[in-house]
Amino acid sequence: MTTYATLCFPVRDGQVLLLRKAEGLWGGGKWNGPGGKLLPGEDPEDGAAREVWEETGLAVQDLSFAGVLRFRFGDEELPSWVVYVFTCHRFSGSPVAGREGTLGWYRMEDLPLDAMWEDDRFWLPRVLEGRRVWAEFRFDGRAEHLEEGRVVELGRQVGVAYRLNVSRGGVPKSPVWEARVGLEGLEGDLHNDTRHHGGPERAVCLFSLEVLQRLRAEGHPVRPGSLGENLTVAGLSWARVRPGARVRVGGVELAVTRYTTPCATIRHSFLGGNIARVHPDHHPGEARVYARVERCGVVRAGDLVELVDAAG
- Whether the CB-CB separation of 96 and 56 falls below 8 Å is answered with yes
209 & 72 share domain: no
Chosen domain end from 126, 153, 180? 153
E strand intervals along 101-189: 101-107, 133-139, 146-153, 158-166, 174-176, 178-182, 185-186
In the chain, how many domains are there? 2
93 & 162 share domain: no
11 & 140 share domain: yes
Chosen domain end from 153, 181, 210? 153
Tell me the CATH number at 206. Answer: 2.40.33.20
Cα gap 152→4, rounded to integer Å: 20
Please give the pLDDT value at position 291: 98
78 & 174 share domain: no
Render pLDDT for 162-200 as a digit per residue (tens, 0 to 9): 999 999 999 999 999 999 999 999 999 998 877 777 899
114 & 195 share domain: no
72 & 162 share domain: no
Cα gap 101→28, rounded to integer Å: 9
Q: In tens digits, what is the pLDDT along the chain, a chain of 312 residues?
A: 899 999 999 999 999 999 999 999 989 999 999 999 999 999 999 999 999 999 999 999 999 999 999 999 999 999 999 999 999 999 999 999 989 999 999 999 999 999 999 999 999 999 999 999 999 999 999 999 999 999 999 999 999 999 999 999 999 999 999 999 999 999 999 988 777 778 999 999 999 999 999 999 999 999 999 999 999 999 999 999 999 999 999 999 999 999 999 999 999 999 999 999 999 999 989 999 999 999 999 999 999 999 997 655
> What does DSSP say about strands 185-186 and 101-107: parallel, antiparallel, or unpaired?
unpaired
Identify the domain containing residue 92 by its residue range: 3-153
Please give the pLDDT value at position 309: 77
